[in-house]
Amino acid sequence: MKKFQIPRASGHSSRPSPSDTETVDPLVTLAMLARGWRVILAALALALVAAGLYLTMLATPRYVARATVILDTHRAEVVDFNGVVDGIRGDADELNSEVEVLRSRGLLNRVVEALDLVQDPEFNPRLASPSWLDRGLSLLRPARPDASPQQIRDATTTALIDALKVRNLPSSYVFEIAVTSEDPAKAARIADTIARLYIRNQIEVKFEATETATSWLTERVGMLKQELETAEGRVKTFNTQSPLISATALGALEVQLKDIRDRLSRIRHERDARETYLGALSEAQGAGDKRAAAADPALDRIAPDDQAGFDARFAALVAQAEADLLRAEDQIAALETSEVALQGQISRQGEDMIELQQLSREAEASRMVYEFFLNRLKETSAQNGIQQADARILSQAVIPDHPASPRRGLVLGLAAAIGIVAGIALVAARELRNTAFRTARELEAASHTLVMGQIPLLRAHARPEMLRFLLDSPGSPAMEAVRNLRTSLMLANVDAPPRVILTTSALPGEGKTTTAIALAVNLAASGKAVLLVEGDLRRHTLGEYFPGLAGGAGLASVLSGQVELEEAVQHDAQSGLSLLIGDESTANGADLFASATYRHFLEEARGHYDHVIIDTPPVLIVPDARIQAQAADAVLFAVRWNATTQGQLDEALRMFETVNRPVTGLVLTQVDMAKMRRYAQDRSDLRYGSYAAYGVAE
């Protein structure tokens, strides 16, 4: 027949991590939150109480008052003069600049002075009463030195800056001035003062700019006047020191020079002709040549035989030609002298004319600049007293009747959210820190070992009551669970059902003894001969469940050979069990259980009983259970519901692995079925959840 194979521990490292699962089951999450509803509710209540204390005892109501100003980009012009300071154009850069002006320390310094905020404890931190925290911190840090008046004013202005918010309303030229204060009337008063001083500041800036411009223009006009007078003086002096000249006179001289040059050219031409004529006369030899050269009619009329008359006439012609040539030379010399003199005069007067024109232009330029600045000075002077601000107050601040902070609804809502989140975090942290086991599914997944049964919590007040309950309530959930455990254990190997069954746990109080007794009672009720052995030689608790047992020899006495097995075994008439209790021994328990005598004892017990159930000490306390397990057919390991931790289970199973005796199966003990419903992932985890639960014992 085929045997059922028991899953063995392949390494008990840890419970499966969230990454080992495909998805997070929302039902599991909801179940976790349902289990921790008290923690979540307590965290919520604590957060709401803290918020209430904050609102009633710590938080100071603060009020916000708002005033608005608007920029006037189209102002009425009283006079058609260009202003010294340009008006607001209204572009984005200027709007942002005006916001900064409203928040500027210079403007707010004036507000501090106007309202005497230096004497206001709300804005002067040195006047405010120190809180208990400040008083405590003052003991740990050196005392602050006394502040100067300027430092106090600066600190007050800084506090006002922190209480002020200025913004440009979208798509408009309107600025909102919002001031936060503990006093609603004070908040409105400060907002109105800021708006009023902002308007006044614009007028003062323009007035100061106009005054500065007027002063500068006055000084500049005086300097320009002196420059103009100097330039005009130079023109006058030049005219006085130089001959009276003008463009017309200079033109007449140039005409005269042209006439001289024309006459000089003509006379030079005549001189050249006379030189040629005189040369021809001088070169003529004969009478015919002389007649031809002279070309004189009078000479031609003289008879050829009148040589004397001819010679006299010819000599007269030569003398006349020489005189004409000499006269021409004199005229040329005189004209050349006149030309040179006139040309020098024209040149000198031209230079003087150029210099005069330059001086005149400089004087005229100085006059134009002087007149421009003089006119601008008159315009600027006329603007004094008629400056207009570029903004006006659109609406004054209204005294608020409700505090802007703290916002009670928001604080309570935020506190509730924080409380719920904190509660959920605490529940989650508790779940993560608690590595105990709540379901068989969880236990199997963590240990890789078969869970053979789940024993409900038995609500008995004393150990004898627990035994009577097991005997008197065969149909109870507890006995139903024990029958299920017995079935699982017997079917673990149907060819060779275990006869020597050992029960143990990681630590005391985890239900191993109860499991051993319940299993023994169930087997005895089915007609089996059962020997229940108390394998713990240090703690003798089996007698507390069976008060009718007598003291005396027990397991240690049998193993030491002092008595025989039949002499030490006692019988309980109610349960039908044979019992071998523990007794005192000077020998070491581990040595006794490792001896051949112990194996012989078990062989003898097998010969007399159908099942031998051994209740052993916790495996994490002493090594006895691991040694006794070497001779057992099955090892049942009790895991207390919601108590035994992952680390304890891993270490205990590892100890059995080191001696090459894996645990046969696990038993989830002391299960609170009512609470288990909160941890169950599906109905398979609640195989015994429909039954009522009863009392506990080890």
In angstroms, the CA 470 to CA 348 distance is 151
Neighbour count for residue 480 (Cβ, 10 Å)? 16
H helix intervals, 659-689 = 673-679
pLDDT of residue 36: 80
Backbone angles phi, psi at 694, to 5 degrees: -135, 175
Residues of the chain with pLDDT under 70: 1-25, 28, 74-90, 128-145, 242-247, 285-287, 289, 291, 293, 300, 303, 305, 345, 381-387, 459-461, 550, 678-698
**Contact 370/221 with Cβ under 8 angstroms?**
yes
In angstroms, the CA 262 to CA 453 distance is 152
Structure tokens that stand for 605 in this block: 């017990």
Q: Residues with Cβ < 8 Å from 153, sequence gap 6 or more?
A: 109, 112, 118
Instruction: Indicate the pairing of strand 577-580 with strand 570-572.
Output: antiparallel
Neighbour count for residue 165 (Cβ, 10 Å)? 14
Provide the whole-model pTM. 0.54
Q: Which residue has the tokens 């919002």?
A: 178
pLDDT of residue 357: 73
Give the right CATH number for 440-686 from 3.30.70.980, 3.40.50.300, 3.30.930.10, 3.30.365.10: 3.40.50.300
Q: Residues with Cβ < 8 Å from 448, sequence gap 6 or more?
A: 7, 8, 9, 10, 11, 12
DSSP-derived secondary structure letter, 616: -
Q: Residues with Cβ < 8 Å from 425, sequence gap 6 or more?
A: none
At 2-41, the pLDDT tens digits run 333 334 444 444 444 444 444 556 776 777 777 788 888 9
pLDDT of residue 384: 63
Domain ranges of the chain: 21-59+406-433, 63-197+388-395, 247-357, 440-686
pLDDT of residue 504: 96
pLDDT of residue 9: 40
pLDDT of residue 689: 38
Closest among 187, 208, 179 to 84, alpha carbons compared: 208
At 360-413, the pLDDT tens digits run 888 888 888 878 888 877 777 666 666 677 888 999 999 998 888 888 888 889
